[in-house]
Amino acid sequence: GAGVSQSPSNKVTEKGKDVELRCDPISGHTALYWYRQSLGQGLEFLIYFQGNSAPDKSGLPSDRFSAERTGGSVSTLTIQRTQQEDSAVYLCASSLARLGETQYFGPGTRLLVL
């Protein structure tokens, strides 16, 4: 079946602009995660959605970052007033929570802020 998809695959923007990154999880997966991978770094957790529960936003680095998940499926990560340090690969993952934390990752969106 189809895996996790993300769009756009690449995004170049100017400092100060807002960007929206989209994630389509695997159908039927109730849990959805956003991570950030900066150059040469490991993955940094950003936010976690599980069903209808309140999301775990503990990883969001600043109030310029927000995310929503509509209808329990597609998610959008929004970065307002982008800064150069926001340049990174943004990865989305989904999982069937009842099987534990086996997360399946999308290909990522490569964001470059000039």
Partner 1 sequence: GEDVEQSLFLSVREGDSSVINCTYTDSSSTYLYWYKQEPGAGLQLLTYIFSNMDMKQDQRLTVLLNKKDKHLSLRIADTQTGDSAIYFCAEGHGSSNTGKLIFGQGTTLQVKP
Residues of this chain that interact with partner 1 (CB under 8 A) are 4, 31, 33, 35, 41-45, 48, 50, 53, 56, 58-59, 91, 93, 95, 97, 100-108
Shortest separation between residue 18's beta carbon and partner 1, angstroms: 24
Task: Please say which residue, 16 or 38, places its beta carbon nearer to partner 1.
Answer: 38
Task: Please say which residue, 38 or 78, places its beta carbon nearer to partner 1.
Answer: 38
- Nearest residue to 4 (alpha-carbon basis) of 80, 82, 102: 102
CA–CA dist 98, 82 (Å, integer):
36
Task: Please say which residue, 12 or 17, places its beta carbon nearer to partner 1.
Answer: 12
Q: Which residues pair with 51 in a beta bridge?
A: none
Shortest separation between residue 58's beta carbon and partner 1, angstroms: 8
DSSP run (H or E) holding 6 = strand 5-7
Question: What is the SS3 assignment for 3?
Answer: coil
